[in-house]
Structure 1
Amino acid sequence: MEPSQPTPPTPPPAGGPQPGGWPAPGPYTSPGMPYAAGPYGGPPGAPGAAPYGRPPRRSTNGLAIASLVSGIVCCLPPLGLVLGLVALPQIRKKEQTGRGLAIAGIALSAASSLLLVVGLASGGFSSAWKGFQKGMDEAARSEGAYSLRTGQCFIDGNKGEKYATDVKVVDCARPHDGEVTGDFKVTGFDKWPGDGPIDRIAETRCEAISSSYALDTWKIPRDVWTSSYQPTGQSWRRGDRMVTCVLATEKTPFSGSLRSDSTSLSPDQEHFLLSLNPIERLSYEEPEDDPDEDFEANRKWAGELLAAIDSARAGLRDHDWPDTSKAALAALGKELDTASKHWGELATATDADAYWEAYDAAWEALPEDLGADARTALGLTGAPPAGEGTQA
């Protein structure tokens, strides 16, 4: 007997539930058809999709990083504050990271900006900057003349040679060989002009610079003269154009600063020296040739010295001097009145013989000390420097 055939099950209605209540599986895509869209644009592992269902990695906002860096760097606090404030809305809009960096940058920048404002208001920033400049100034000192600056005193290991290579800056209270009175830049030459032209320029310019720097010439030792350090042909090719003017000695070192100008003198002292110094300077510029050899040059010089005497008389007469010095200055003014009369005769001499006749009387009438009592009354150096020689 043949076995009976099993009766096939009755198929469920299309779309109906499977036995046990499970839903029918969804349709599969055909080979070669695209994947169904996943939650982030594709199936796991597909390009542009988040791997295995994780959200994509968010980028860090660049302005937030810049804000933090600017807040840390002391000279950029306002910039860090602005960058941080701009970064916060960008982070929210673009769903980026870096909010903590931006907040930290804003906080640091705000604190630094506040300190900066307080420093400027109180002068603390100015003091700090001056301290920084002083430190840089100290660091810039070197064993050479080209780094010397006005007011510095130095020891010259080359002892007055024109091209110094061994110059050491020292405190002016210590014995030293020279003091810087100023500097200037050589102009007017397209190429190296040679030592001669620069020597002539330096002599004229440095004489004027040193005279303005050291108005109280009686403070200057007799063997201290105006000199200069100049560019060499080699340094000129490197761009060096500076001439450094100095008061220096090749003999015994001296101590103390020679500076006496508006930075250290009272208005009365400065006025007195500016009035009298031209007489002293011109008294050392008498022509080398005597009147018999060059009468006109000598008479011209006498006229220049007469003009300096008359200018000093007016300067003393028209100034309102302190009560403690009025008597001494009045006495000096009378001496200059007498000197003016005799130097007038010398300056108007008609020939060499007449010049010689007036010569001795003119020199005797000129106060030899040019007002030592008046200088003392004004608090200036009361005696000329001892020793041989003449002043620069």
Structure 2
Amino acid sequence: MDPTQPTPPVPPSPGGPQPQGWPAPGPYTSPGMPYAAGPYGPPGGPGPGPYGRPARPTNGLAVASLVSGLLCCVPPLGLVLGLIALPQIRKKDQAGRPLAITGIVFSALSCLLLVLGLVTGGFASAWNGFKEGVDEASRSKSPLSLRTGQCFTDRGKLEEYTTEVTVVDCARPHDGEVTGGFKVTGFSSWPGEDAIDAIAEKRCEAVNQAYAMDTWLIPEDAWAYYYLPSSQSWRFGDRTVTCAFATEGKPFSGSVRADATTLNAGQTHFLKAVNPIETVLYLIPEDDPDEDLSANKAWAAKVRTAIDAAHADLGRRSWTGAAAEPVAALRKDLAAASKEWRELAAAADADAYWEAYDKARDPLPGSASARTALGLTDVLPEGGGTSA
């Protein structure tokens, strides 16, 4: 062997120690690596499969227990499902133990709250509150949807453009009561708010008078009110004017309705006879006799005409029962009042007018006794109406 050539390595003895060079090949090693990890990972690693050992299935009852406990819809159900799930999880080596325990805890708390609610009545109170809320929401309406006879509260407090009102029982405090309505006709295009307002003022007055014939029912601070179409609602076909009695002050309770649906024939006849007196009394001139004597004398003549008409109308009906005597007494008072108002209408000057006015105004006959006998309102609203 040429001494200049390197000495070839001596093959190792099978199974013998290796003084130098590479480790002996074997089934678990490969040249140049101290450890060979096969496609299944190192010894003691995950089981077969490229992604390791298959995950344990989650117990379905544990999931159901958690959902029932969180939703609080059927608290006992979540508690029962959780208690059943725990032994199944242990026996079948399944996942979901934390879910079942959480479901049990929340269900137990829900059951406790349920018992406390039933004992203290809290659920009844909550349910009543819920029903009231739903009821109020169902009664919230647009003014366009109001109907005759409905009482309402106005969230806008009767501002110029109200978008929402709430219908309430007329026995409860309310801002207004619908007396009727009508459709605006005769315009091919939006006529303007002033034009509709003028129509509404005239027609709603007649609607209100027909709806509330017993004027003593109308609260002192209630006045004629109406909802008009806006230029926007007009474009969508809205032509309705809704008439009402309303107040911007303290809400009033009770209905003011007194019409053909609530009055009998005797009551209707009586009110039609005496109401014109009240109507004309409210037309008193703004200027007193010292400033405009002729206007005041003309007004006095109109009052006398209304008094004479009431006297005649009451005499056209045969009054029987409890109403006969008080109505007869009222007719005598009206006849006496007619003479006083005739002198007032004929006053020569302002001084004579004032003197006659005191005599005519003070003994203006009352109708409370006749109203009582007829079953009508016999208490005059404070500051409202007249004694006639």
1:155 aligns with 153
Aligned 1:200-211 pairs, distance under 5 A: 200-211=198-209
SS at match of 2:206: helix
Per the TM alignment, residue 248 of structure 1 is displaced from its structure 2 partner at its CA by 1.1
Given candidates 291, 294, 298, the residue that maps to 1:293 is: 291
Q: Does 1:371 align with 2:355?
A: no
2:245 aligns with 247
1:100 aligns with none
2:380 aligns with 384
1:326 aligns with 324
Q: Say if 2:212 and 2:259, in contact at 8 Å, map to a contact too.
A: yes
Q: Say if 2:347 and 2:353, in contact at 8 Å, map to a contact too.
A: yes
SS at match of 2:141: coil
Q: Distance in 2 between matches of 1:301 and 1:142?
A: 45
TM-score by length of 2: 0.61
Q: Say if 1:194 and 1:233, in contact at 8 Å, map to a contact too.
A: yes
Q: Say if 2:224 and 2:245, in contact at 8 Å, map to a contact too.
A: yes
Per the TM alignment, residue 142 of structure 1 is displaced from its structure 2 partner at its CA by 5.4
Q: Which runs of 5+ in 1 are unaligned?
A: 1-138
Q: Distance in 1 between matches of 2:199 and 2:275?
A: 22
Letter of the aligned partner of 2:190 in structure 1?
W
Per the TM alignment, residue 287 of structure 1 is displaced from its structure 2 partner at its CA by 0.6
Q: Which runs of 5+ in 2 are unaligned?
A: 1-136
Q: Distance in 1 between matches of 2:299 and 2:200?
A: 24
Letter of the aligned partner of 1:240 in structure 2?
D
| Identity rate, percent | 59
Q: Which structure has the larger Rg over C-alpha atoms?
A: 2
Q: Distance in 2 between matches of 1:227 and 1:311?
A: 29
Letter of the aligned partner of 1:328 in structure 2?
P
Deviations 1:231-280 (A, max 9, x none): 11111222211110001111222222211011111110111111111111
1:219 aligns with 217
Given candidates 261, 264, 267, the residue that maps to 1:266 is: 264
Q: Distance in 1 between matches of 2:189 and 2:174?
A: 35
Letter of the aligned partner of 1:182 in structure 2?
G
Q: Distance in 2 between matches of 1:390 and 1:269?
A: 18
Q: Distance in 1 between matches of 2:385 and 2:371?
A: 19
Letter of the aligned partner of 1:252 in structure 2?
K
Q: Distance in 2 between matches of 1:313 and 1:375?
A: 15
Letter of the aligned partner of 1:323 in structure 2?
G
2:186 aligns with 188
Q: Does 1:166 align with 2:164?
A: yes
Q: Does 1:349 align with 2:351?
A: no
Q: Distance in 1 between matches of 2:187 and 2:290?
A: 41
Aligned residues: 250
Letter of the aligned partner of 1:254 in structure 2?
F
1:237 aligns with 235
SS at match of 1:365: coil
Q: Say if 2:139 and 2:168, in contact at 8 Å, map to a contact too.
A: no
Q: Distance in 2 between matches of 1:165 and 1:179?
A: 17
Greater Cα shift, 198-207 or 261-270: 198-207
Q: Distance in 1 between matches of 2:195 and 2:237?
A: 17
Q: Distance in 2 between matches of 1:232 and 1:353?
A: 51
2:48 aligns with none
Deviations 1:326-381 (A, max 9, x none): 111111111111100011112233444443332211112312xx310110011111
2:338 aligns with 340
Q: Say if 2:278 and 2:385, in contact at 8 Å, map to a contact too.
A: no
Letter of the aligned partner of 1:355 in structure 2?
Y
TM-score by length of 1: 0.60
2:173 aligns with 175
Kindly report the root-mean-square deviation, in angstroms, between the aligned alpha carbons of the 2 structures.
2.0
Aligned 1:66-215 pairs, distance under 5 A: 143-215=141-213
Q: Distance in 1 between matches of 2:320 and 2:160?
A: 45
Q: Say if 1:141 and 1:147, in contact at 8 Å, map to a contact too.
A: no
Q: Say if 2:300 and 2:341, in contact at 8 Å, map to a contact too.
A: yes
Deviations 1:115-168 (A, max 9, x none): xxxxxxxxxxxxxxxxxxxxxxxx997521001111111111111113211201
SS at match of 2:362: helix
